[in-house]
Amino acid sequence: MINYRKLNSVIKQLADLKLRSKKSYPETTNIWKDIDQTVRGLQAAERVRVDDDDDTEDALAELEDSVLQLEDVFETAKDKGNAARVRRLIDMIYDI
């Protein structure tokens, strides 16, 4: 069962991270596009309260993959603050 409260928290934190980092890391543009698309799908699933749908689980896996790509970008750039934020988000995604 999807914990939508935790999902919404992750979405808010991703939005904040995007605002803080998108201009500094132009190489993340496509990653953010993927994240935005996945988030829209997850929010649509929440509106209809799809809990045990395989598509929702697949979307969470896609979100996790995209966030892992962000972590790689931040670690390569030696941005320890954003890399740590991303690791916390990954842990939260596991808990959803």
Digit-by-digit pLDDT tens for the chain (96 residues) are 778 899 999 999 999 999 999 899 999 999 999 999 999 988 887 777 665 577 788 889 999 999 999 999 999 999 999 999 999 999 999 988
pLDDT at 44: 85
Is 92 in contact with 4 (CB distance < 8 Å)? Answer: no
Alpha-carbon span 58 to 38, nearest angstrom: 10
Let me know the angle formed at the C-alpha of 28 by 22 and 32, rounded to the nearest 5 degrees: 80
How many domains does one find in the chain? 1
Let me know the angle formed at the C-alpha of 42 by 66 and 3, rounded to the nearest 5 degrees: 100
The whole-model pTM stands at: 0.85
pLDDT at 51: 57
> Range of 51's domain?
4-95
pLDDT at 93: 93
